Amino acid sequence: MLRKLLLPALLLLAPLLQNCETSSDETAPASGGAMYSAAPCPSCGGTTGSSAPGGTGSPAPGGSQATAGVLTAGEWNDLANWSFWQGLQKNTEWEGYQNKWGLYTAAHYSVTLTDESGLPLSDARVIASTSPTGTPLYETRTNQEGQADLFPVLFQKEAEPPCFLRVEYQNQSFDLGAASVGQAEKHQLPVQSTALSAVDLMFVVDATGSMTDEINYLKAELRDVIARAHAQLPSAQLRMSSVFYRDKQDEYLTRVQPFSNDVDALLNFVNAQRADGGGDFPEAVEIALQEALKQSWSSSARCRLLFLVLDAPPHDEAKVQMQELMQKAAKQGVRIIPVVASGIDRNTEFLMRATAIATNGTYVFLTNHSGIGDSHLEPTIGSYQVEFLNDLLVRLILKYSKS
């Protein structure tokens, strides 16, 4: 529940926040359910500087105005901290989560591609199969640095078949040969990289009743992020979309704003949403992702980012569908970036981090430093930087859309 009497003071203190970094043990636990607690944060603001002024948002519960630059968050990229993630998978509790969702990331293949001039080859299609001419097992696209991470046996425990990589770029195909688990492959291809301008951003948001404590603040942050991304990417063909979702017994399952370059239309759509419904803990996450991936994503793009804002996992029976959606997102080059709010449990943390890994995304989580909403689960990670959520999301958008 929001602390209505403290909120005005918190809003006055927000601009005074500076950089802070939480610290924790860098070694993943080998067993048990230990988690890494953050050190007290005397100030927040992160590496991107003080928050840009945000407009007044929708009324928050209790009559206060929700303003951008208030919610605090951290980011953890498991692909950039792979040994930590590997150690965590040996934890007895986390082994249980792997089995529950049927997600096994041990067979991890990484490749970086450059063109004939040594420039990163972005949005190249990378395909993994068990033989040079075999059926594709996993497919993804390279990022702005020409890197792709593949998991051809993501749904098979302790499986490590032969893996052959193939690249498709500019209507040409290149066989990279056999790849080895854990080795970062680097290949220079006899092509010239193509400058890409399309940037697709989608915001998928849980709008069930459990999000009431934070949704008006999240809406204010999203409005600020959308406006700033539009202003800071003048050379990009920026298109944005949004999906708000609830659960199967609610007033609606999904509400969709299709991809468009009309920023005002998206802002109006976001502003019109409210939190209600739900009831049980899990929500229709898989339905929302299914609807999201059906939208008109660009066939070629600098990046395709799907920010998944939620505080609850999908229903257990959605296990296979979630697996299929991860594989589909990876194939489409859609990077899923979960943004987890108050209320998630360790099981949801695992699933969201695995989703980010499988789609070459990263993991974002709200923190308690803002004082907004119910208590936020401290993630099982190493040291991280606390930032204002709007600054963090803009930073990620600019990072992935770098041309």
Provide the residue ranges of all domains of the chain, joining segments of one domain with +.
Answer: 72-103+195-401, 109-188
At residue 213, the pLDDT reads 73
Strand 163-169 versus strand 56-59 pairing type: unpaired
Concatenated DSSP letters for 45-86? Answer: --TT-SPPP--EEEEPTTSPEEESS--EEEEE-GGGGHHHHH
Which contiguous run of DSSP H or E holds residue 20?
strand 20-22
List beta partners, residue 20.
386
- Packing angle between helix 263-271 and helix 215-232, nearest 10 degrees? 170
Which H or E run includes 238?
strand 237-245
Render each residue's pLDDT in the chain as its tens digit; 403 residues.
433 333 333 333 343 334 444 544 444 444 333 333 343 333 444 433 333 323 333 334 433 467 889 999 999 999 999 999 999 999 999 999 999 999 999 999 999 999 999 999 999 999 999 998 889 999 999 999 999 999 999 999 987 788 999 999 999 999 999 999 988 999 999 999 999 999 999 999 999 887 877 788 888 898 999 999 989 999 999 999 999 999 887 788 899 999 999 999 999 999 898 888 655 568 899 999 999 999 999 999 999 999 999 999 999 999 999 999 999 999 999 999 999 998 899 999 999 999 999 999 999 999 999 988 888 999 999 999 999 999 999 999 999 998 7
| Listed residue (204, 345, 182, 184) closest to 273, CA to CA | 204
Give the helix/strand (H/E) hosting 260.
strand 254-260
Q: If you search the block for the tokens 């600054």, which residue do you land on?
A: 391
pLDDT for the residue numbered 38: 41
Written as six digits, the tokens of 252 are: 């609606």
Q: Measure the CA–CA gap between 376 and 347, rounded to whole angstroms.
A: 14
CA 272, CA 57: separation in Å to the nearest integer? Answer: 11
Residue 343 is predicted with a pLDDT of 84
Identify the pLDDT of residue 13.
36
**Are residues 198 and 300 in contact, defined by beta-carbon separation less than 8 angstroms?**
yes
Fold for the domain defined by 72-103+195-401? Rossmann fold (3.40.50)
CA distance linking residue 253 with residue 90, whole number of Å: 37
Q: Which of 270, 261, 393 is nearest to 337 (CA)?
A: 393
Fold classification of 109-188 (topology level): Immunoglobulin-like (2.60.40)
Cα dihedral 84, 89, 90, 92, rounded to 10, equals 130
- Separation of alpha carbons 201 and 71, rounded Å: 20
Cα separation of 252 and 85, whole Å?
37
Residue 122 DSSP label = T
What is the CA angle 46-33-35, rounded to 5? 15
Q: Which tokens sit at 248?
A: 């199967």
DSSP class of residue 253 equals S
pLDDT given at position 20 = 45
**What tokens were used for 199?**
């940037």
pTM of the model: 0.85
How many C-alpha atoms does 392 have within 13 Å on its Cβ side? 29
Strand-pair category, 184-188 with 109-114: parallel
Starting at the earlier edge strand, list the strands of the sheet with 303-310. 20-22, 384-388, 72-76, 363-366, 334-340, 303-310, 198-206, 237-245, 254-260
Rounded to whole angstroms, the Cα distance separating 165 from 131 reads 9
